[in-house]
Amino acid sequence: MGPGPSDISPEVLASLSRPVIGHLDPLFVGMMDEVKALLQYAFQTKNEFTIALSAPGSAGMEACFVNLVEAGDKVIVCRNGVFGDRMIQNVTRIGAEAIVVDSPWGRAVETAKVEQALIANPDAKFVAFVHAETSTGAVSDAKALCALAQEHNCLSIVDAVTSLGGIELRVDDWGIDAIYSGSQKCLSCVPGLSPISFSEKAVNVIKERKTQIQSWFLDQSLVMSYWSGKGKRSYHHTAPVNSLYGLHESLVQLQNEGIENRWARHQTQHETLAKGLKKMGIEFIVPEDERLPQLNAIYIPEGADDVKVRNYLLNHYNLEIGAGLGDFAGKAWRIGIMGYAARSENVALCLTALEDALNQ
């Protein structure tokens, strides 16, 4: 019950042990087509370019930036936690300019400030933000931010690592242009894959680039033909076959449950957890209306020893909760109820175990 990797269902774990087959085997290629369709469902998009990148979410982030952004481009980057900061790193390493819009850690991105930045920088080409900040537990208004980007002729680049499958996320309805996620959060698959999706507008920007993409491995123009489903699959790199078995299985489970039901399940479990924490006098970092249900960031109660409590939970209950990150290191805990972990038995265990740990 940390900030991820989340618990994995027995079915997904079992799927990982299927014998490996070739990444160009017709059976495997058929499964890839299904993964693509299932990812389109998860993202709520019809984007043709919707794939699982063969590397973790941080590589998904870099793929979005290096494919779309060219040296000299201006990118408005919203920072309200660790991952906004990482976006800035990505932008500057391309030789592009990051216009940083800071919002307080533990709060949503301030839409009004982003609008000001867009007005002050009419030559900006992109707006980048984190939908669900894993480091603080705050959700930002992705719909409003994407609408703002569109109004100002900018493409949106969205981090959905912790949001995909956990809270409402509608790529097409909200007009998201480039989005990346991770397999190990609310999808409850093994860590190591990054679902990504590009709008037609984003694909055109890639096609019309003036400069070569600086990364060969992340150059999506080379990968498109492998995933295209049209004609011959051309070899780019050896796909992580067994991890993709797991992703396929976890996406089938998502489809069987129904994405809206899954969003609702995260909310229900969160409310039970929040009620129990309140009884114990524990306070949330994030105000209620900006709070992620799947990532509960709470202040460490006065007098409690951060490391001692987390070790007690791990050693006595086989239960992991996350430490604070960045500004919140040593000050907060992060309790994840993501995907398969968002169950009544987990929430009950967590509350009882935490109470016990605090009374030691």
* Position 31 contacts a second copy (CB under 8 A): no
Q: Which of 34, 102, 216, 279 binds a second copy (CB under 8 A)?
A: 216
Least gap, CB of 118 to a second copy (angstroms): 25
Least gap, CB of 106 to a second copy (angstroms): 19
Closer CB to a second copy, 59 or 202, in the complex? 59
Is 334 annotated to bind a ligand? Reply is yes
* Contact call for residues 102 and 49 (beta carbons, < 8 A): no
Closer CB to a second copy, 146 or 223, in the complex? 223
Give CA–CA dist 52/38, Å, rounded. Answer: 11
Closer CB to a second copy, 56 or 301, in the complex? 56
Q: Find the part of the chain contacting a second copy (CB under 8 A) among 10-18, 247-255, 271-279, 344-352.
A: 10-18
Of 143-162, binders to a second copy (CB under 8 A) are none
* Position 358 contacts a second copy (CB under 8 A): no
Closer CB to a second copy, 21 or 144, in the complex? 21
* Contact call for residues 181 and 196 (beta carbons, < 8 A): yes
Q: Which of 190, 292, 295, 337 binds a second copy (CB under 8 A)?
A: 190
Closer CB to a second copy, 298 or 341, in the complex? 341
Give CA–CA dist 242/54, Å, rounded. Answer: 11
Q: Which of 33, 204, 221, 235 binds a second copy (CB under 8 A)?
A: 235
Q: Among candidates 220, 224, 162, which has minimal Cα distance to 187?
A: 162
Token pair listed for 64 = 């979005």
Residues 6 or more apart whose CB falls under 8 angstroms from that of 169 comprise: 43, 44, 131, 142, 160, 163
Q: Which of 121, 215, 225, 228 binds a second copy (CB under 8 A)?
A: 215
* Position 84 contacts a second copy (CB under 8 A): no
Neighbours of 170 (CB within 10 A): 15
* Contact call for residues 186 and 294 (beta carbons, < 8 A): yes
User: DSSP secondary structure string, 167-207?
Assistant: S---HHHHT-SEEE--TTSTT---SS-EEEEE-HHHHHHHH
Q: Phi and psi of 92, rounded to 5°? A: -70, -30
Closer CB to a second copy, 209 or 275, in the complex? 209
Chain centroid to Cα 38, Å, comes to 17
Mutual angle of helices 200-207 and 57-68, in 10-degree steps = 60
Q: Which of 40, 121, 150, 214 binds a second copy (CB under 8 A)?
A: 214
* Position 7 contacts a second copy (CB under 8 A): yes
What is the separation, in whole angstroms, between the first and last Cα of the chain?
21
Of 34-73, binders to a second copy (CB under 8 A) are 54-59, 61-62, 66
* Position 22 contacts a second copy (CB under 8 A): yes
HSE (CB half, 13 Å, CA atoms) of 145? Answer: 29
Annotated binding site for substrate, which residues? 334
For binding to a second copy (CB under 8 A), which residues are involved? 2, 4-8, 13-14, 16-26, 54-59, 61-62, 66, 86, 89-90, 92-94, 182, 184, 190-192, 212-217, 235-243, 246, 314, 320, 322-323, 325
Annotated binding site, which residues? 334
